[in-house]
Amino acid sequence: MDSVIYMDNNATTRVADEVVQEMLPYLTEKYGNPSSMHTFGGQVGKKIAEARQRVATLLGCHPEEILFTSCGTESDNTAIKGTLASYPNKRKVVTTRVEHPAVLTTCRDLERHGYSISEIGVDRAGRLDLDELGFRLDDNTAIASVMWANNETGTIFPIDQIAEIVKGRGIVFHTDAVQAVGKIPLNLRESHIDLLSLAGHKLHAPKGVGVLYVRKGTRLSTFMHGGHQEGGKRGGTENVPGIIALGKACELAQQHLEEENTRVRALRDRLQKKILAGCPDCMINGDTRDRLPNTLNVSFEYIEGEAILLMLNKFGICASSGSACTSGALEPSHVLRAMGVPFTAAHGSIRFSLSRYNTQEEVDFVADKLPGVVHRLRELSPFVAT
C-alpha cells in the first residue's frame, strides 16, 4: 500500500512526533525507577509529576486527582468495581445501552454476580432519556456511569446536566470520556463528575496508558493492590514513558483544541456534505447537533459494511463499520440497535473519524472514491434493481 488515509481515529491515533520525542529519553538513558532514593530515579519522578500536572491542566482539575492506569478499560473497571466495593450496602449500577464494552461488559458481569444493572435507552438520534435516568436512580444505586461521547456515532451527552442529576441523588457519578478528551473542552472543577476515564492512545499518545480522574473526597476502594505508587490507589511500577507521553499529548491537545473544533470539524462537515451529495440512499447516524467534531457515521442502504471497508482498503482508506460481519458477531452494532437504526442500515454503517493530521485533499479523495465503491456493491446487491 503506497499511502494510508487514516480516518479511524476513534479506534486509535497516530502518536504525535512531539510525544515520541518527549518519551524517548525515558526508554533509553533515563530508565530509573521513580520510587528510587537516588537522583537517577528521582529525576523520573519529577517528570511524572510534570505529566500529572499537564493532564490536570487539560481536564481542569488538581494533579492529585489524576490516577495513572494502563488503559481506558482499566479506568472504567476501577471506577465501577472500586465504587461498589466502597458502598457494600448498595447493589445497583445505572448506565446506558450505548456504552463502550469496557463499561457494558463489566456491568453485565456484575449482574451475574448479583448486582442489579439499569441500562438507560436512547432515541433515534442517540440522545439519552434523562427522565428515565432520573427514574432509575434509587437508594440502592451506588454509581451511575454514562459516557461523555459515543465512540461510534460521536453523539455527545449533556454530561454536566447528567452529573448534576446523579449527584443530586447522592450517587457517585462516573463518565467514560475516552472519546471526548482532546476533542471538546472540559472543565472538571466546575462539574459534578466524581470519576472520569481517559485513554492515551485516543489523543496521540501511545497505547498502554490511561487515566482515572478521582475527585478529592470520593470513596474508591483500591482495585490493583501493590506498592505505594499512585498514592497507594494503584500499585505497580509506573509506565514511565507512557505517562510522560500522555502528559505531552495532553499539552498538545490543549493547544489543538480550537483547531479540532474549527478546521477538523470543517473537514468532517465537508466529507459529510460530499458523501450525502454523491451517494444516493445514505443517512447520517447520531445527533448531528451535538456531535464530536471529528466523527461521521453514515449508513449506506442495501450494502454491507465489511464489503465497503475492504473496497476502501484497496485505496488505502482506513475506516470502520458497525456491521455484524466486521466483528465476527452476527448482529450489528449494539449502539445503532439501541438507537433503533433499522438492521438494513446498521449493516451498512461506516464510521469515519478524523484527526488534526487529516487534510482537505484526503477528504476529497475519500469523497471521490466512495460513490464508485457504493455503486459497485449495489450492483451486486439483490435489493437494488439494476
Instruction: Give the nearest distance from C-beta 310 to other proteins in angstroms.
Output: 5
Element (H, E) at 318: strand 317-318
DSSP-assigned beta bridge partners for residue 67: 212
Asked if residue 380 binds other proteins (CB under 8 A), the reply is: yes
State whether residue 282 is helix, strand or coil.
strand
Asked if residue 266 binds other proteins (CB under 8 A), the reply is: no
Asked if residue 49 binds other proteins (CB under 8 A), the reply is: no
CA pair distance 78, 196, nearest whole angstrom: 11
CA pair distance 147, 159, nearest whole angstrom: 8
Asked if residue 130 binds other proteins (CB under 8 A), the reply is: no
Asked if residue 343 binds other proteins (CB under 8 A), the reply is: yes
Measured over the CA atoms of residue 91, residue 195, residue 127 and residue 371, the dihedral's sign is negative
Bridge pairing between strands 141-145 and 172-176: parallel
Task: Give which of 55, 285, 61, 371 is closest to 188, Cα–Cα.
Answer: 61
CA pair distance 231, 86, nearest whole angstrom: 17
**What's the start-to-end Cα distance of the chain, in Å?**
33
The stretch among 24-32, 229-237, 290-298, 341-349 that binds other proteins (CB under 8 A) is: 341-349
- Of 137, 307, 339, 374, the one binding other proteins by CB under 8 A: 307
Residue 116 is which amino acid? S
List all residues 6 or more positions away from 167 whose beta carbon is below 8 Å from its beta carbon: 173, 192, 194
- Name which of 170 and 382 has its Cβ closer to other proteins: 382
State whether residue 346 is helix, strand or coil.
helix
Asked if residue 379 binds other proteins (CB under 8 A), the reply is: yes
Place of cell 479506568: 75
DSSP-assigned beta bridge partners for residue 152: none
- Name which of 277 and 310 has its Cβ closer to other proteins: 310
- Name which of 271 and 309 has its Cβ closer to other proteins: 309
Instruction: Give the nearest distance from C-beta 273 to other proteins in angstroms.
Output: 27
Asked if residue 332 binds other proteins (CB under 8 A), the reply is: yes
Asked if residue 304 binds other proteins (CB under 8 A), the reply is: yes
Place of cell 474508591: 220
CA pair distance 163, 348, nearest whole angstrom: 34
Contact pattern from residue 311 through residue 330 relative to other proteins, giving x for each residue in contact according to CB under 8 A and a dash for the rest = x--x--------xxxx-xxx
Asked if residue 89 binds other proteins (CB under 8 A), the reply is: no
Asked if residue 383 binds other proteins (CB under 8 A), the reply is: yes
Number of residues located near other proteins, criterion CB under 8 A: 25
- Of 57, 86, 222, 381, the one binding other proteins by CB under 8 A: 381
Asked if residue 101 binds other proteins (CB under 8 A), the reply is: no
Q: Is 325 a catalytic residue?
A: yes
Instruction: Give the nearest distance from C-beta 382 to other proteins in angstroms.
Output: 4
Cell digits of residue 128: 439519552
Element (H, E) at 116: strand 116-120
Asked if residue 382 binds other proteins (CB under 8 A), the reply is: yes
Contact pattern from residue 140 through residue 179 relative to other proteins, giving x for each residue in contact according to CB under 8 A and a dash for the rest = ----------------------------------------
Instruction: Give the nearest distance from C-beta 372 to other proteins in angstroms.
Output: 13
- Name which of 198 and 370 has its Cβ closer to other proteins: 370
User: Long-range contacts for 32-37 (Cβ within 8 Å, ≥24 apart)?
Assistant: 33/237, 34/238, 34/240, 35/227, 35/228, 35/229, 35/237
Asked if residue 347 binds other proteins (CB under 8 A), the reply is: yes
Catalytic residue among 61, 71, 279, 325: 325
CA pair distance 286, 292, nearest whole angstrom: 10
Catalytic residues: 325
Which positions touch other proteins (CB under 8 A)? 302-304, 306-307, 310-311, 314, 323-326, 328-332, 343-344, 347, 379-383
